[in-house]
Amino acid sequence: MPANLTPEYRTAEANYRKARDPQERLDCLKEMLRTIPKHKGTDHLQAEIKTRIKNLTEELGAPKKGGRRGPTHVVRPEGAAQIALLGPPNSGKSALHAVLTGSHAEAGPYPFTTKLPLPGMLPFEDIHLQLVDLPPVSKQNPLPWIVNALQPTDACLLVVDLTNPDCVELVQDLIESLSERRITLSPDWTRTSAPDEERDEELDPFGIVLPTLVIATRADEIENIEQELEAFFDLLEQRFPSLALSSTTGEGIDGLGRWLFEALEIVRVYTKTPGKPPKHDRPFTVRRGGTVREVARLVHKDLSRDIRYARIWGGETFSGQQVGPDHIVADGDVVEIHT
Ligand SMILES: Nc1nc2c(ncn2[C@@H]2O[C@H](COP(=O)(O)OP(=O)(O)OP(=O)(O)O)[C@@H](O)[C@H]2O)c(=O)[nH]1
Ligand SMILES: [Mg+2]
């Protein structure tokens, strides 16, 4: 990380890292380029920002000549979190996507069936998690757009087929080809609570770290799948949390929604208007540590600025008390926002 980066630049960079919407990210990149101190020590970073601006601009697709848009690879995040399905060819990503989301993801008995990202929604209780089916990534199939596609993603399911004798090599190849593009699959799902400012300096602004759950498919065909998983991790010399399931029989499928909900530490908040009952049908969601102000922003952009206080109901502690915008919400809270 070059020295002498100004606070103004650091703010732009922090905003870029937080931005999930591709257009917003592009605006942040332009702000980074505008504010970066222009000297020899930042040449490399300047060049990198320019390349990212160029790629993302293309990705967001000003219509190409002849009015046709190229395929878009960036899936706008929806629902409580976006989770990418990664894995070697033919490991069962699309079959899993189809059974979890009811999508019509094409699954085939041959590799490279999937060519483009396909979003779908996995329902869990009263929320949805967005799952994005992806083509297989490998050194042979490097997918230049994968960096942009994974930028808004919160986590990944690494789908493996343990019946494939090349399984370990294929996963190693996948992990390496992602890491060449500074995408790291991490076994760690706990999010550090250190404030952004403290971490900024060490963080690669363009690095992506994805908490990863290994999914072993074909539990219908594999006896002792837990043992097979252990052997797999031994050979891989790296461990991840894991779940075994079958997309064909459905065994093990039910646990996945809760696993993700808990690991992602999703917090559901229900809003109400004064004098009316809470809207219990559709919660807003933040991650653990999220505040009343963040909920307000989800309700309406301006509301996060205009909010003065909220009344809150939840658990045994709150029954309509007044709290400030920085109050941290808990799963199941009801809030009434006042401006
Ligand atoms: N028996 C069994 N077969 C499965 C399971 N999951 C996937 N399959 C089969 O495995 C083959 C590959 O599945 P896909 O879902 O197309 O695999 P993919 O990872 O999306 O493949 P690519 O898109 O080519 O990377 C298909 O024939 C599926 O029917 C499972 O849990 N059990
Ligand atoms: Mg597929």
Domain spans, the chain: 7-67, 82-263, 266-338
- Give the number of the atom of ligand 1 that is nearest the alpha carbon of residue 88: 25
Give which of 119, 118, 76, 127 is closest to 260, Cα–Cα. Answer: 127
Confidence of residue 192 (pLDDT cuts 50, 70, 90): low
As a whole number of angstroms, the distance between CA 19 and CA 228 comes to: 39
Give the number of C-alpha atoms closer than 13 A to the C-alpha of residue 51, restricted to the C-beta side: 11
Give which of 203, 201, 144 is closest to 178, Cα–Cα. Answer: 144
pLDDT recorded at residue 176:
94
Question: pLDDT higher for 21 or 249?
Answer: 249
Give which of 133, 146, 131 is closest to 92, Cα–Cα. Answer: 133
- The set of residues, in sequence order, having a beta carbon less than 8 Å from that of 34 and lying 6+ positions away, is 12
The 10 Å Cβ neighbour count of residue 38 is 8
Contact between 217 and 91 under an 8 Å Cβ cutoff? The reply is yes
Q: Helices 43-60 and 22-35 meet at what angle, rounded to 10? A: 150
Confirm or reject: Cβ of 252 under 6 Å from ligand 1. no
Interval 89-114 mean pLDDT: 91
Confirm or reject: Cβ of 243 under 6 Å from ligand 1. no
Instruction: Tell me the average pLDDT of the chain.
Output: 89
| Residue owning the nearest CA to atom 32 of ligand 1 | 218
Question: pLDDT higher for 203 or 129?
Answer: 129
Bridge partners of residue 121, in order along the sequence: 130
Percent of the chain with pLDDT over 90: 61
CA angle 205, 209, 212 (to 5 degrees): 170
| Residue owning the nearest CA to atom 6 of ligand 1 | 92
Distance 107 CA to ligand 2 centre (A): 6
The 10 Å Cβ neighbour count of residue 241 is 13
- Give the number of the atom of ligand 1 that is nearest the alpha carbon of residue 245: 31
Q: In the predicted model, is pLDDT for residue 151 greater than 90?
A: no
pLDDT recorded at residue 2:
61
pLDDT recorded at residue 198:
46
Contact between 251 and 219 under an 8 Å Cβ cutoff? The reply is yes
Q: In the predicted model, is pLDDT for residue 188 greater than 50?
A: yes
Give which of 302, 294, 304, 303 is closest to 333, Cα–Cα. Answer: 294
pLDDT recorded at residue 74:
81
Q: In this predicted model, what pLDDT tens digit does every residue of 245-277 receive, in sequence order?
A: 999 999 999 999 999 999 999 999 999 988 888
Confidence of residue 70 (pLDDT cuts 50, 70, 90): low
Question: pLDDT higher for 80 or 4?
Answer: 80
pLDDT recorded at residue 203:
64
Distance 154 CA to ligand 2 centre (A): 20
Confirm or reject: Cβ of 5 under 6 Å from ligand 1. no
Confidence of residue 71 (pLDDT cuts 50, 70, 90): low
Question: pLDDT higher for 3 or 316?
Answer: 316
User: Which helix (H) or strand (E) element contains residue 314?
Assistant: strand 309-314
Interval 216-226 mean pLDDT: 95
Least confident of 2-6, 98-102, 186-190, 200-204: 200-204
Give which of 156, 159, 104, 158 is closest to 131, Cα–Cα. Answer: 156
**Phi, psi (5° rounding) for residue 237?**
60, 35
Q: Which fold has domain 82-263?
A: Rossmann fold (3.40.50)
Confidence of residue 197 (pLDDT cuts 50, 70, 90): very low
Confidence of residue 213 (pLDDT cuts 50, 70, 90): very high
List CB-based neighbours of ion ligand 2 within 5 Å: 93-94, 113-114
pTM above 0.85, yes or no: yes
Q: In the predicted model, is pLDDT for residue 117 greater than 80?
A: yes
Contact between 2 and 47 under an 8 Å Cβ cutoff? The reply is no
Give one word for 8, left, alpha or beta, with left for phi > 0 and alpha for psi -120 to 50.
Answer: alpha
- CATH code: domain 266-338 is 3.10.20.30
- Give the number of the atom of ligand 1 that is nearest the alpha carbon of residue 110: 24
Give which of 289, 288, 290, 271 is closest to 280, Cα–Cα. Answer: 271
Distance 98 CA to ligand 1 centre (A): 10
The single-letter DSSP state of residue 328 is B
Question: pLDDT higher for 1 or 302?
Answer: 302
| Joined tokens for residue 202 | 């060490």
As a whole number of angstroms, the distance between CA 67 and CA 159 comes to: 37
- The set of residues, in sequence order, having a beta carbon less than 8 Å from that of 317 and lying 6+ positions away, is none
